[in-house]
Structure 1
Amino acid sequence: MAALLAGASLFAGLLQAQVATPAHADTTSGSRTVKVSLDSLSPTVPVKGGTITVSGTVTNSGKETVTAPHVGVRMAEVGPLTSRSAISTAAARTGYVKGDGYELTDHETTLKDLPSGITRPFTLKVPVSALGLGKDGVYQLGVSLTGRLRSVGFDQILGIQRTFLPWYRTGGAKATQYTFLWPLIDRPHLTVRSDSDDQQSPIFLDDDLAKALAPGGRLRQMVELGRDLPVTWVIDPDLIATVDAMTKPYRVAGAGGDLEHTTTGTGTADANQWLLELKAAVADREVVALPFADPDIASIAHHGRNVSGTLGDLKNATDLSTKTVETVLDITPDTDVAWPVEGAVDSSIIDVATSAGADQIIARSDSLGESGSLSYTPTAARPLGGGTTALVADSVLSKAFQGDMLNAGNETLAVQKYVSQTLMVTMQAPEKKRSILVAPQRMPTASQAQAMAEAITAVTESGWADSATFAAAVKATPDPDASRTVPSGSAYPTALRKQELATSAFQTIQATQTRLNGFVVILSVQGRVSVPFGTALLRSMSTQWRGDSGGAEDFRDAIGTYLTELTGLVHILDKGGTLTLSGRSATIPVTVKNELGQAVTGLELRLTSGQDNNLDIGDPQPVTVEGGHTRSLKFDASAKRNGLTTVTAQLYTKDGARYGDAMTFQVNVTSITSTVMLVIAGGLLLLVLAGVRMYSQRKRRAAADTTEDAEDAEDADSDADGGTDGDNGEGGDNAPEKPAGPAPDASGSARTSNPAHIQ
């Protein structure tokens, strides 16, 4: 029996030696002349008795034609790699080295001559049995091009690309628990303004979100891929609130951010469809909601925490997060999680996060590193005390898909490396059950998301790993020897610190918030202003402004400018000149105009005199004005002396704060003097005297009329007795009649019983 075993071992050794026999002599290398790209490798995890298929391209980047080229597969002779760092080292190597092994015989493919600049495709099919895979682990596989250059005259290895094969045949290790975060985050798109149409349509900075929601778009791909993956959704509530706003008509700023000449948004239909698909995808799934608009916690910790009101805004963002997700998605998320940018933490970041209500902090292993005492990757959970737990994401796995995944070769290498790294984690300590967190970049592209989905699927189906929820990762038993030391502020990466919002940014935000507080108190419907402005201010602190300081500043300034415009719509009308008061007491009217679309109340109008000893103005008056109306208020004023006085009209809020600009005008007091009184008295005296004179004249005329009437009567009697003689020539038959009316006076006017006017 022993002899049989010995013979079998010898036979196996001969077979392995035969597999490793090179088909071509590797006498020299010019391995940077030709670029080898591996566009696909299937299956990702080879199985016993199967075949691997490798497809790709070769490109001659040199100046000479490569003659008699062929592509072959190489397996490193050292067997499986021994560490995670060995994988990274091999992946970074560019030129051929002897450690890349010999080319496998009978599994190469011959190509036509390869002129300079020409690219040719290739496909290799290799039985798994020919790869020489032994014990479980990660194996290095190389694909090389061998050919001849005229200047050299013999075959050379002119290009090579390495990848990795995870081999897990024996099994038996305790499966590692993996928690994959699946982020739905985007940059701010909504402005604080709305259109002047009847619907008050929101105005967007651009229509880029419509492209991301459309079929094939980034966010559409994230939802379609994520719904079939065992992942934990990490959502910025601002994104779903913005998409919800897109489900109704909306406007888009014109060229250069022109908010006066907007265009119709194009993403309404896709926004409705995306929200429907997202609701279905996250139903009964674990969802972590970040604070609203994903505030930059590191920037707040380093530059904003000492600006009064900033920490309160962060807490408000957390509270708003729950309400938004519950309203839009009809689920209750986990909101006690903080995720600093790239998982970089220090003591101040931890303090700020916990002050806003976060109990779990997502960090990364290149920030909260290990001391080197552990020979394996520890569990993600690290209790920090006080009920706070740091979830330390694995740096290598989290950054695996940050490159250009549109390139098929990059995607293939990234997936193979990622899956191989997860197997290496398990093989580091196969007897230990550990929990690993993977936190990728916040905004994966569509191609990056596709690569991530492929890798996650391969890992969860591998046998050496299982998926786990975020809640399970928090509750996992921590490794007692794992690092729990939070680095100091000086250890925070310089490159990240340069991208942070400055202290002046937070000062501007809080100054705008203070002005907003003073404005909404006068409004009858405060929410119509406080909600859009409040969310806009939270967006101005977003992590997504990193790398775009100019855009962040423009966004902040636009909020402040619009608030100034709105507050200016409630103002005191200019009186436009000097107001003259003829007398010691008079009424001063002042008009307040409200051009807003809602009533304002709670204001108080006060008038103050520049010379209090000259002009006494009445008490302040409350102001209530309906939207689109004006109201005039009258102040009783009394003057102590004549002269010009400056009067200031100013609105105040209930708490005594000034509202809007003051309006000043001049008041000229012109009281009645003693000289004027004498003139008036003289005039009255003349009127009295004229009346007495006319009365006397009327009385004399009346007496004269009585005498004449008596004489006429006597004459009539005389005529009756014997006046027919006609001696004096009067009263005869030919005498003229007396006028029937009154006789004219000296002026030629007829006398009347009442004078027509006073002389």
Structure 2
Amino acid sequence: MSAAPSRRAADARPARVRPVSAAAPPDARRTPRARLLARSAGLLAVLAPLVGVTPSPAAAAPATDELPVAVDVTAVTPQVLAPGQDLRVTVTVRNDGDTELANPSAVLRLSRTRPGTSAELDAWVDAEARASAGSAVGRPAPLGAPLAPGASAEVAFDVPAASVGLLDTPDAWGPRGLAVELVDGRRRVGIERTFLLWLPDSEDLPHTRLSVLVPLVASAPGGGTASATSAQVPAPTATEGGEEAATDEPTPEPTEEPAPDEPVQPEDTALEAQTGPEGRLRALLTASGASTGVSWALDPALVARASDAGPQSAAWLEELRTTAEGRDVLALPWADPDLAALAHADRPDLLTAALASSSAARPLVSEGVTPVQWAADDVPDLRTAALAAGTDVPSLVVGPGALTPERTTSTTAGPVTTVTTDAGPVAALVPDPTLSALLTDPARLQPGATAATLAQRLLAETAVVAHEERETVPHVLATVPRDWTPDTALVTAALDALDAAPWVRLAPASDLLDAAPDTSDREPLPDVSRAPGELSAATVNALGDARNAAVAFAAVLEDPDAHLEGLDREVLRPLSVAWRADDEGRRDVVRTALADATARRSGLSVVLSDRFRMISSTSQIHLALRSTLDQRATVRIEMRPRKACLEVGDAPTATVEPGAEQTVVVEVSASANCDVLVDVFALAPDGTSVATAGRFDAHVSPTIENVGTAVVGALLALALLVGIVKTVRRGQTARRGARLAAQAVPGDESETTPA
């Protein structure tokens, strides 16, 4: 049986009023912006004759200055009201005007019409100063004394259940507009609008799945120094072929004394401050860790650095690990790289390295961490989406302003949509803009937000979504920016309210990675878009090329992984999104990273003479391969003559021990006389030079050997011929003839002496 609006509202218990103070002008609560502008205009008008300043006409007091009293709702109890429960509303009123209020009293008002959309909730909160605020509930509560300028008082309304006057049918549940009005006599001088949540029946209640995703990333040491005229050059424009126009930014040079193993003191000092009692990361952990239903997107590089940065960071990390137990934790790529900068430089290899480093570091937090990518800009461009689509983690968190539905419908758009790119589809996780804004900066949508009004607004927004008629349970996503510094009290109260709401189910954000995408038409992403603080393509390519060169060098070593340990982390550091806010600091980190990569591809050299003389058609050239490395290296020695008169045989492979020198012999052959410059390289298996290229001058004279041989042969032949001739011409000597006669046979009568 429904309860009609009670006519006994006047019988409600009178509100209790307690004066608080009449101190100096308050600063604890935010006053309307228009009132502040009006006061600034008045101050400038007074000071103008003294300092020569003329007040701007834009600072004139606006019409809203007619409400000089700030009204803050500090508690609505219970947050979700059921039939039979009494309602208690506590407020603080403060006179921010310059005139005393002679007869102030407070009135509690209730609108009994249920808002059906988020836009209607906005309309209630943003109503004009004199707009209707519903009907009064109970009697006005006189403050009992004038309210002087700067004075404040507390008012508590206790409304019996019978005086609420709302229907108790199941479909009547949901938000109602609730307002506290302060009047002086019959004139409204202040008002605060919030919401009452009415729940006649909690059975068969539709519910909303809500994922809250908070990025846990460090800020740059000098965060906040970026500007549109930063040290980065103006963004280059894309050419027809997809390449970027040349920029004037010089490629950073490596420092001469790299120290890759030494911590970077500014980053460690900054992290100690951020994790300290007043630090942003401390507040972030306290606020988001209060509810186990909140998901984290964690940068593994933050975990690694916090373990060594200092005692405050170590204590924060220990608390992080404890709070992470049983929580949905997603892992960002290592160092949370600027995906836009990588995409515009066409360096998917660096993103692959960041994802691999993140995967290796996930056990630092907890097992079963899910990878995800997060765009640096709220509205990324298609090139950034394509970069994400080309990885093994084809999911991308975008900002609340991206991929908005093209048409307004009666239902809230889903948090997952598919973006088609040249590299394939990517699942875009799209946050709800209203819920995200309420968590990030409540005053944008709920002026003068308190813990109570923020909680009631979030409950109202989720109730509206749960009320929507649809076939499936709605699922919405809320995110906050990377540099979010939460108001711990407000956020904790908001999360507690969401945890307790019967129609809200806090769900892991990782569930969205497997969720069916919303098929509604969305505003497309821009083709190319660059932010002022984005790292230039020239610098990104310098980092990527330096990394690739170091990797190629390590291929000649016995244990390349040991040699490359820590390289990717150094190269990825300056690619972090956080450095967008600190250009000067980023330049130092870039130089350090380049120096580290340069040091990792040094340690081998070729030692040889400056000149070589060759007088034969074939010969051997001896050189030495010297190593200052701490492990064995095997390289291929290749000589490249710059003229065809000298030819080199097969390139020999040489292995040099740590800190030693190895002699290498190269076979060469010459075909003609010439002077030729010869380049000498020590090469990795893929042909990359791994040592400083050497060169020498070769004087090649292979014909000297051939002519000498011919001359010697001719002289020997001539000597032999002369000897024969001289022997023939000399004849027999007397001695040689007598010896022949004595050897004749005696008594041979056949031979007679002529007469």
Shared fold, TM over 0.5: yes
1:395 aligns with 2:395: no
> Aligned in 2, Cα 1:437/1:205: closer, same or farther, shift over 3 Å?
farther
Counterparts of 2:87 and 2:651 in 1: how far apart (Å)? 91
1:399 partner SS: helix
> Aligned in 2, Cα 1:13/1:221: closer, same or farther, shift over 3 Å?
closer
1:439 aligns with 2:447: no
**2:138–2:159 Cα contact (<8 Å) kept:** no
Q: Pick from 125, 128, 148: which aligns with 1:114?
A: 148
2:192 partner SS: strand
**2:66–2:189 Cα contact (<8 Å) kept:** yes
Match of 1:704 in 2: none
Match of 1:54 in 2: 90
Q: Pick from 521, 525, 530: which aligns with 2:555?
A: 521
1:127 partner SS: strand
1:456 aligns with 2:495: yes
Q: Pick from 446, 460, 465: which aligns with 1:425?
A: 465
Match of 1:722 in 2: none
Match of 1:206 in 2: 267
Match of 2:598 in 1: 564
Residue 125 of structure 1, CA deviation: 0.8
Match of 1:490 in 2: 526
Cα RMSD (Å) of the superposition? 5.1
**2:111–2:134 Cα contact (<8 Å) kept:** yes
Match of 1:705 in 2: none
2:475 partner SS: strand
**2:604–2:690 Cα contact (<8 Å) kept:** no
**1:108–1:124 Cα contact (<8 Å) kept:** no
1:490 partner SS: coil
Counterpart residue type for residue 496 of structure 2 = T
1:377 aligns with 2:412: yes
The aligned runs of 1:79-90 (5 Å cut-off) are 79-90=113-124
Q: Pick from 183, 191, 195: which aligns with 2:214?
A: 183
**1:283–1:331 Cα contact (<8 Å) kept:** no
Count of residues paired in the alignment: 613
Counterparts of 2:118 and 2:556 in 1: how far apart (Å)? 63
Worse-superposed segment, 496-505 or 396-405? 496-505
Counterparts of 2:700 and 2:615 in 1: how far apart (Å)? 7
The aligned runs of 1:283-322 (5 Å cut-off) are 283-297=325-339, 300=342, 303-304=344-345, 307=346, 310-322=347-359
**2:288–2:294 Cα contact (<8 Å) kept:** no
Worse-superposed segment, 552-561 or 82-91? 552-561
1:15 aligns with 2:75: no
Q: Pick from 361, 366, 370: which aligns with 1:334?
A: 370
> Aligned in 2, Cα 1:55/1:420: closer, same or farther, shift over 3 Å?
same
Q: Pick from 296, 301, 305: which aligns with 1:234?
A: 296
Match of 2:319 in 1: 277
Counterparts of 1:573 and 1:272 in 2: how far apart (Å)? 49
Counterpart residue type for residue 206 of structure 1 = E
> Aligned in 2, Cα 1:20/1:220: closer, same or farther, shift over 3 Å?
closer
Q: Which has the higher contact order (CA 8 A, sep 6+)?
A: 2
1:601 aligns with 2:637: no
Counterpart residue type for residue 275 of structure 2 = L
1:439 partner SS: strand
> Aligned in 2, Cα 1:156/1:179: closer, same or farther, shift over 3 Å?
closer
Residue 85 of structure 1, CA deviation: 0.7
1:142 aligns with 2:179: yes
Counterparts of 1:384 and 1:606 in 2: how far apart (Å)? 50
Q: Give the TM-score of the pair, scaled to structure 1.
A: 0.65
Counterparts of 2:274 and 2:339 in 1: how far apart (Å)? 26
Deviations 1:15-69 (A, max 9, x none): 347889999xxxx986456362627324471535445343446352x5x343437
Counterpart residue type for residue 463 of structure 1 = P
Residue 655 of structure 1, CA deviation: 2.7
Counterparts of 2:475 and 2:575 in 1: how far apart (Å)? 30
Counterpart residue type for residue 137 of structure 1 = G
Identity, % of aligned pairs? 17
> Aligned in 2, Cα 1:109/1:369: closer, same or farther, shift over 3 Å?
same
Counterparts of 2:105 and 2:186 in 1: how far apart (Å)? 12
1:356 aligns with 2:391: yes
The aligned runs of 1:546-585 (5 Å cut-off) are 546=580, 555-572=589-606
Counterparts of 1:528 and 1:204 in 2: how far apart (Å)? 25
Counterpart residue type for residue 289 of structure 1 = A
Counterparts of 1:140 and 1:36 in 2: how far apart (Å)? 19
Residue 458 of structure 1, CA deviation: 0.8
**1:49–1:128 Cα contact (<8 Å) kept:** no
**1:194–1:200 Cα contact (<8 Å) kept:** no
Counterparts of 2:660 and 2:92 in 1: how far apart (Å)? 74
1:374 partner SS: coil
> Aligned in 2, Cα 1:49/1:589: closer, same or farther, shift over 3 Å?
same
**1:604–1:620 Cα contact (<8 Å) kept:** yes
Residue 126 of structure 1, CA deviation: 0.8
Counterparts of 1:474 and 1:611 in 2: how far apart (Å)? 61
> Aligned in 2, Cα 1:112/1:491: closer, same or farther, shift over 3 Å?
farther
> Aligned in 2, Cα 1:22/1:83: closer, same or farther, shift over 3 Å?
farther
Match of 2:688 in 1: 657
Residue 356 of structure 1, CA deviation: 1.4
1:447 partner SS: coil
Match of 2:195 in 1: 164
Unpaired segments of 5 or more residues in structure 1?
148-153, 249-264, 674-759
Counterpart residue type for residue 240 of structure 1 = P
Counterparts of 1:390 and 1:645 in 2: how far apart (Å)? 61
> Aligned in 2, Cα 1:397/1:95: closer, same or farther, shift over 3 Å?
same
**1:368–1:484 Cα contact (<8 Å) kept:** no
> Aligned in 2, Cα 1:616/1:539: closer, same or farther, shift over 3 Å?
same
**1:30–1:156 Cα contact (<8 Å) kept:** no
Residue 91 of structure 1, CA deviation: 3.0
Residue 231 of structure 1, CA deviation: 2.0
